[in-house]
């Protein structure tokens, strides 16, 4: 089981130092991946928690002000990197081509991409979720060999569920994850979108989920502890 913590653009430096200490009290058999603000990537003390980034440049090192390259992430012991999050697709207008380039560069540096896909509310209402997701996957994987494709962790994050407290039914999640696994049977698939310590009792009945990509809850170590306990019992 993989639990990836996406802190997004949260926590000041003093807050992050306290937060990091609190995280060390978590006990879990799952692989915990912490994706903090990139400002703190060099601050993580060695521990059982693996390091993830929230973004990477679509270029190699060079004259790209403000960017962080895959080789730089590797040199900071980053093992995973979120790619194609819906917030970046919407706010930074990240394109399928850029996402595909980022994945290729990450794999070259042996960093595992966590590729986010998911439909918005309108596409869900039109029952077009599978078309949207399959297109996003096809575009993101287009530069990869079969061997490379298998390494990508896929995160199903319905956009209408992110930060809203609304989660799909188990049947809706199963429909999507099973469709993804039909095309990409060897890839691990996570669920993300308002997963929390209250709905985990229901979510954990979905056997095809290989883990969770967690936003808001990642900032609350006490509640995260309850989430992990419920998940594992």
State the residues that interact with ligand 13P by CB under 6 A. Answer: 6, 85, 157, 162-163, 192-195, 213-217
Between 61 and 166, name the residue whose CB sits nearer to ligand 13P: 166
Active-site residue, selected from the candidate residues 85, 119, 136, 197: 85
Active site residue 93: no
Active site residue 186: no
Shortest Å distance, C-beta 145 to ligand 13P:
27
Between 184 and 216, name the residue whose CB sits nearer to ligand 13P: 216
What Å distances lie between residue 61 and 64, 95, 105, 145, 175, CA to CA?
8, 20, 11, 24, 40
What is the b/e burial string over 144-176, where b = at least 16 CB atoms within 10 angstroms of the residue's CB?
A: beeeebebbbbbbbbbbbbeeeebbeeeebbeb
Between 60 and 200, name the residue whose CB sits nearer to ligand 13P: 200
Burial level of 215, CB count in 10 A (0-12/13-18/19+)?
buried
Shortest Å distance, C-beta 88 to ligand 13P:
10
Between 44 and 214, name the residue whose CB sits nearer to ligand 13P: 214
Active-site residue, selected from the candidate residues 94, 98, 157, 197: 157
> By Cβ distance, which residue is nearest to ligand 13P?
215
Residues belonging to the active site:
85, 157
């Amino acid at each position: 089981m993989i639990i990836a913590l996406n802190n997004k653009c949260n926590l000041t430096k003093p807050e992050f130092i306290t937060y990091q200490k609190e995280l060390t009290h978590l006990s879990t058999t799952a692989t915990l991946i912490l994706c903090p603000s990139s400002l703190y990537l060099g601050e993580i003390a060695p521990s059982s928690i693996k390091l993830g980034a929230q973004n990477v440049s679509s270029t190699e090192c060079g004259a790209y002000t403000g960017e962080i390259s895959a080789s730089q992430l590797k040199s900071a012991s980053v093992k995973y990197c979120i790619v194609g999050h819906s917030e970046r697709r919407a706010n930074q207008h990240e394109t399928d081509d850029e996402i595909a380039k980022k994945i290729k560069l990450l794999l070259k540096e042996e960093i595992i991409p966590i590729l986010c896909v998911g439909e918005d509310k309108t596409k869900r209402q039109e029952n077009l979720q599978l078309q949207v997701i399959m297109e996003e996957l096809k575009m993101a994987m287009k530069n990869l060999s079969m061997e490379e494709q298998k390494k990508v962790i896929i995160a199903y994050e319905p956009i209408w569920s992110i930060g809203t407290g609304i989660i799909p039914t188990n049947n809706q999640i199963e429909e999507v994850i099973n469709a993804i696994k039909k095309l990409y049977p060897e890839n691990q698939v996570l669920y993300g979108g308002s997963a929390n310590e209250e709905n985990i009792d229901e979510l954990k009945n979905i056997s095809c989920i290989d883990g969770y990509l967690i936003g808001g809850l990642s900032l609350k170590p006490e509640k995260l502890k309850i989430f992990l306990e419920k998940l594992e019992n």
